[in-house]
A and B are shown apart, each in its own frame.
Chain A
Amino acid sequence: MQRETLAKILNLDRRWIFLMVLICAIGARFVDIDMQIFPKKTVKAMYDSIEEVAKNKGTVLLSMDYDPAAKPELEPMSRAILRHCFSKGVKVIGMTHNPHGQRLAQTVLESSAAEFDAKYGEDFALLGYKAGGGTLVINMGQDFRDAFAKDFANTDIRSLPVAKDITSLTDIDYVISVASSGYWEAWMIYGHDRYHFKFGTGVTGVIAPDVFPFIQTGQVTGLIGGLAGAAEYETLIGKPGIATIGMKPQSAVHVLLVLFVLFGNFIFFWDMILKRRQEKAWKR
């Protein structure tokens, strides 16, 4: 192949690549392949933690700290966690640090609760949004009712059976932050390390590598990373959902990207070899 042809390939208009990715993602969606999903240890750790809470008939605080931009990755994992909790009779208190996330939290909480006939106030509650980040976590640790005197519907939380006995974060059996940015860090730094409650997190794929050092130290018990993590959790609870469906196109696009990288490197090194041959020929 001539160097001009290689140069054309190397400088291919990126829109062709976008088109190939789109066709691959759509095509893989309709291919009937049974994909096996193998849950990671970190995802299993969160599953086991909720199972332990269920044995003790405890309470989980689920902080859905994401906005619509991260909804594709984080809502499936929130839904999977909620399905797990409600199916095992675990009480859930929902909240959010993200002002864009209040309605998202409400939607996913209510729709998941409806699948299991969970009752608001008795089995779950939604506290809503409050500003503050780390200071809110500290406030919740010192005096839960001072931080959230009322739920998102303006009902006194002392009248809600699920939350009436909660005076501090130490009364919560497991705190999970499903976060799209630094909110999980705020929970860990100002919450877990001060008040020593069990803490797990679900984050986007971009943030997941940053969490691994804290799993090794035991500061985070359980991590769901991205859509793949959500699919693994759905596999563990035995309820395949949006995340599991998304694994086929996701995997197909990943394979395509690997082929692109290999092909691109091959063309690059071939061009380099041709260039050296050309230079040697000119020198003669």
Chain B
Amino acid sequence: MVLKSEEIKDLILFLLLVALLVGTNIYLFASGKLEFNWEGIGIMLAAGITVSMYSFLYKDNVLFKTVEHLYVGVAAGYVLSVYWFAIFYADLIEPLFFPPPGESPAWYRLMPMLLGIILLMRVSKRIGWISRISFAFIMGFYSGIAIPNYIQTMIVQQLHYTVRPLFSAGTPFEMGIQIAFLAVIIIYVILDWLWLSALNKAWVNALVLLPFFALLLFGIYGGIAGINQIMVLVGVLSVLVYFFFSVEHKGVIATTSKMGIYFLMVSFGASFGYTIMARMSLLVERLEFLIREWLQLT
């Protein structure tokens, strides 16, 4: 078998990685930094698995594949044991066959047990149809539980906040800022409808939006609560208009829809930023484990 230069390079790197891992662990155990007990072996294994997982960032390799399968197997086995002790034994077997002294067996639990067994019949082609009974029960039950609660929490409560008084009581100066803010938004919508959208120059758009951003920042950092309320109302309405496709997006509708896009872009940007922070946090913690607990550099 003749290896290409790229494959030879990858093989050398792989062997170097394995040698580095083995060598580092031998040094840590020999120097006493890691104790040769279950905890020390656990730290060594965790560090090895971490480095193997990250080796995928260079290229897929046999180490990564091994630990990936190991992870899936261990997770499945662990969850099975939790399900057995926390659910099957605690909620089914114990109440049925080993009830507390003075209590009768909880025979009513046989019904959900039966529904669960029927659900598993799905795997059979011949009698799989019987699982529809359990599915119907699950769909009906969860629809009844979820729909009214979701509507109350996600829609009614949110609507309640959206329709608060637009101009909150404050000093005449604060009221003036709020009115100016709303006026700037209305002026922008009219300008965009009549002139800006035809002009189609981003820098002119940005120039016209300057007073909007100036007032927004002033309102936020100046603690003017009404600015937030106006933003909520304008944002909700413009985003709803963007998703309303029963009317052609022309004129004022087009402008309002474009504002909705800006709000969506800001929210997606914020979500993306938070997501990046979350992913970096995972890297940071793993590195902290390797530095502090494995290599014990701090």
Q: Which A residues are within 8 Å of any B CB, using their own CB?
A: 15, 18, 21-22, 25-26, 29-30, 71-73, 99-100, 102, 128-131, 134-135, 138, 150, 152, 154, 188-190, 193-194, 204-206, 208-209, 213, 216-217, 219, 225-228, 242, 245-246, 249-250, 253-254, 257
Q: Which B residues are within 8 Å of any A CB, using their own CB?
A: 57-58, 75, 78-79, 82-83, 86-87, 90-91, 145-146, 149-150, 152-154, 157-158, 160-161, 232, 267, 270-271, 274-278, 280-288, 291, 298
The reply to whether B87 and A130 form a contact with Cβ atoms under 8 Å apart is yes
* Chain A contacts for B277, CB-based, 8 A: 205, 226-228, 250, 254
The reply to whether B286 and A72 form a contact with Cβ atoms under 8 Å apart is yes
The reply to whether B284 and A227 form a contact with Cβ atoms under 8 Å apart is yes
The reply to whether B145 and A135 form a contact with Cβ atoms under 8 Å apart is yes
The reply to whether A189 and B267 form a contact with Cβ atoms under 8 Å apart is no
The reply to whether B284 and A72 form a contact with Cβ atoms under 8 Å apart is yes
CB distance from B27 to the nearest CB of A (A): 19
CB distance from B241 to the nearest CB of A (A): 19
From A25, A135, A206, B275 is in contact (CB under 8 Å) with A206
* Chain B contacts for A150, CB-based, 8 A: 90
The reply to whether A209 and B270 form a contact with Cβ atoms under 8 Å apart is yes
A158 to B277: give the CA distance in the assembly, Å: 43
* Chain B contacts for A242, CB-based, 8 A: 285, 288
Say whether, besides A73-B281, A100-B78, A205-B277, A249 and B287 are in contact (CB < 8 Å): yes
Say whether, besides A138-B145, A253-B280, A99 and B285 are in contact (CB < 8 Å): no
CB distance from B151 to the nearest CB of A (A): 10
From A102, A128, A245, A254, B288 is in contact (CB under 8 Å) with A245
A227 to B283: give the CA distance in the assembly, Å: 11
* Chain B contacts for A188, CB-based, 8 A: 153
A13 to B79: give the CA distance in the assembly, Å: 39
**Main secondary structure on B side of the interface with A:** helix
From B87, B149, B160, B286, A217 is in contact (CB under 8 Å) with B160
**Main secondary structure on A side of the interface with B:** helix
* Chain A contacts for B150, CB-based, 8 A: 189
From B152, B283, B285, A193 is in contact (CB under 8 Å) with B152
Say whether, besides A219-B153, A226-B278, A131 and B87 are in contact (CB < 8 Å): yes
CB distance from B160 to the nearest CB of A (A): 7
Which A residue's beta carbon lies closest to that of B281? A227
The reply to whether A193 and B157 form a contact with Cβ atoms under 8 Å apart is yes
* Chain B contacts for A194, CB-based, 8 A: 149
22 contacts across the A-B interface (CB closer than 8 A): A26-B287, A29-B287, A99-B83, A100-B79, A129-B82, A129-B86, A131-B86, A152-B86, A189-B146, A189-B154, A193-B152, A193-B157, A204-B278, A209-B271, A226-B281, A228-B281, A246-B281, A246-B284, A246-B285, A253-B283, A254-B276, A254-B280
CB distance from B92 to the nearest CB of A (A): 11
* Chain A contacts for B161, CB-based, 8 A: 216-217
A135 to B145: give the CA distance in the assembly, Å: 8
CB distance from B36 to the nearest CB of A (A): 23
A145 to B150: give the CA distance in the assembly, Å: 26
CB distance from A142 to the nearest CB of B (A): 13
The reply to whether B281 and A15 form a contact with Cβ atoms under 8 Å apart is no
Interface centre among B232, B274, B284, B298 (most CB of A within 10 A): B284
The reply to whether B274 and A15 form a contact with Cβ atoms under 8 Å apart is no
The reply to whether A250 and B274 form a contact with Cβ atoms under 8 Å apart is no
* Chain B contacts for A152, CB-based, 8 A: 86
**The 8 A-B residue pairs with the shortest CB-CB distance in the complex, in nearest-first order:** A205-B278, A72-B285, A227-B281, A205-B274, A99-B82, A246-B284, A217-B161, A205-B277
* Chain B contacts for A228, CB-based, 8 A: 277, 281
Say whether, besides A72-B284, A217-B161, A15 and B57 are in contact (CB < 8 Å): yes
A194 to B152: give the CA distance in the assembly, Å: 10
CB distance from B208 to the nearest CB of A (A): 23
CB distance from B224 to the nearest CB of A (A): 16
* Chain B contacts for A245, CB-based, 8 A: 288
A194 to B149: give the CA distance in the assembly, Å: 8
Which A residue's beta carbon lies closest to that of B269? A209
A69 to B41: give the CA distance in the assembly, Å: 21
* Chain B contacts for A193, CB-based, 8 A: 149, 152-153, 157
Which A residue's beta carbon lies closest to that of B228? A216
* Chain B contacts for A25, CB-based, 8 A: 280, 283-284, 287
Which B residue's beta carbon lies closest to that of A28? B284
* Chain A contacts for B78, CB-based, 8 A: 100
CB distance from A137 to the nearest CB of B (A): 10
A135 to B91: give the CA distance in the assembly, Å: 15
The reply to whether B284 and A249 form a contact with Cβ atoms under 8 Å apart is yes
The reply to whether A217 and B288 form a contact with Cβ atoms under 8 Å apart is no
